[in-house]
A and B are shown apart, each in its own frame.
Chain A
Amino acid sequence: MTTRAQAQGTREGPLSAAVEIERAAIRLGGRPIVSDVTLTVARGEFVAVLGPNGAGKSTLMRAILGLVGLASGSLAVLGAAPAQTRNQIGYLPQRHGFGEGTRIRGIDLVRLGLDGDRWGISIALGSRARQKRRAERRLIEDAIALVGAAAYAQRPIGELSGGEQQRLLIAQALVRRPKLLILDEPLDGLDLPNQSAVAALVKRISTEAGVAVLLVAHDVNPLLGYLDRVVYLAGGRALAGTVEEVITAPKLSWLYGAPVEVLKAADGRLVVVGAPEAPHVHSHRHGDP
């Protein structure tokens, strides 16, 4: 079974898919990071990007953002070349939480997500400019309301808890009403209730606003029940499909090139056992799964 066939089922009319990757290979500093990734993400789909550390998940996200080029293969984002559509992508990169001393309010951080890269100051002269100003303020308030952070957006971000900061960062990524949201390990460092809450929030945003979501994570479990599909990266290759299809012992063993077991707990949680953490050097592969 191929990934394309599944993805095509959810495509709507002439609108291109959110992300179309065909046999992409990426190298960094001469070393191969991923060697053969094929993936299509439809508009409004919620896809998790899984895999061990060093598998190339973040690098693949950066390629979609146009920050890293492909060594071979093709990559189309929202129907165009990656760098061209960067403005329509909301990006939440991996970064350290904001320390106590950070002297900026949450709402200002969200505002920077809207116009932080614009040079010069915007003075509201004339009614057109004032209207624009009002519209921008609405965008910010809506984004903050969407993530449920209105109660604490006015406080200094350094004072907020991990979960609260993460919601504001998601608002920051959403503020320009993107068509594609890329979240790089947003659940890291959050406790379980917060992980669930963020996963549910992302699902709600994806459904309500029709935003395609690529969420990079270590562990699929907090996301079970919200996901449409997963992409599993390991050994430089990728497998896409539903959770049941991809996270199985034979599939993952093929991916890793080493025997891997998938255990299922009584409550439905999945545990991958025996997977090597270090990035696998691409060696000869024999046969497909």
Chain B
Amino acid sequence: MIGQLFQYPFMVHALEAGTAVAVLAASVGWFVVQRRQAFTGHTLSVMAFPGAAGAALAGAPTTLGYYVACLVAALALGRSRRPQARGYVGESATVGTVQAVGLALGFLFLSLNHAVLDGLETLLFGTFLGVSQGQVVTLFVVAAVTLAALAVVGRPLLFATVDPVLARARGVPVAVLDLAFLLILAVAVAATTQITGALLVFALLIAPPATAQLITMRPLPGLLLSIALAIAIAWLALGIAYFSIYPVGFYTTTFAFAVYVLVRMGRWIASRG
């Protein structure tokens, strides 16, 4: 029965895309969880909506719209972030405002285009049908480039994240790294959105790394574990969604959530024993 899955090209493409996206989302997501930027991650992913709607209006490819919108939002957020004040009161208000503006613009573009709002669902909740070979290749390239970027900046980024005062004193360009990470995050969510949809990016971006960090706090093992968990979740979700009438987004989030809850409960039980 599993063999059935691999017979159809669209399914193979979906699995390939799912793998690329899982690797990408989980590795960037490990840092997102460390940096407590889940809200920012969600906001950037939501930008896919005005991106796609704007692209449709302009007659440009949808994927391009995703990336452009997410990157523009990242730049807007990067400029407004105050380097010295962690948890500065205004920061979450800025992120929330950017999200609302993005959505409002998306809605405007949609209305201007008199576009049928069917596509809305796919955009927000993802699909694995109709993933083309070209898309798969692009996703793997994006994943490779992002992983390379993380490999280069990962260590100083972690330093800047957990110990910004000392990092700055040691010459780590904290403000630059903050912005660089936002751009990396923008690219990662733009890619992930294509599979999970704008609203469900967390299933691969946040849940697997959060689960991994419950199991180990060691950076490299944690990162690898996040990726492994994300791939497992993506494959399981895609596999089951194939046989089911229900959308893949539901399965991705449910499995991601289930794994997180199980590990969390397991730790709680272990701590009582």
Contact = CB atoms under 8 A, between A and B. Distances in A.
Contacts of A104: 34, 158, 162, 217, 219
Interface in A90-125: 91-95, 98, 101-105, 108-109, 112-113, 115-121
Interface in B206-228: 213, 217-219
Contacts of A166: none
A153 to B, nearest CB: 12
Interface residues of B, number: 24
Interface stretch (B5-13, B75-83, B138-146, B167-175): B167-175
Given A112-B159, A119-B153, A103 B166 contact: no
B165 interface: yes
Nearest to B33: A103
Contacts of B156: 116-119
- Size bracket of the A interface: 20 to 34
A209 interface: no
A113 to B, nearest CB: 7
Nearest to B160: A116
A42 B266 CA distance: 55
A156 interface: yes
B163 interface: yes
B155 A65 contact: no
A65 B169 contact: yes
Chain B interface helix/strand/loop/mixed: helix
Contacts of A112: 155, 158-159, 162-163, 167
B213 A109 contact: no
A120 B169 contact: no
Nearest to B173: A117
A196 B217 CA distance: 32
B151 A121 contact: yes
A273 interface: no
Given A116-B155, A116-B158, A94 B165 contact: yes
Residue with the greatest number of chain B CB neighbours at <10 A, chosen from A92, A98, A116: A116
Nearest to B216: A105
B270 interface: no
Nearest to A65: B169
Contacts of A258: none
A86 interface: yes
Contacts of A109: 162-163
A121 B169 CA distance: 21
A116 B172 contact: yes
7 contacts: A91-B169, A104-B162, A108-B217, A117-B156, A117-B170, A119-B155, A121-B154
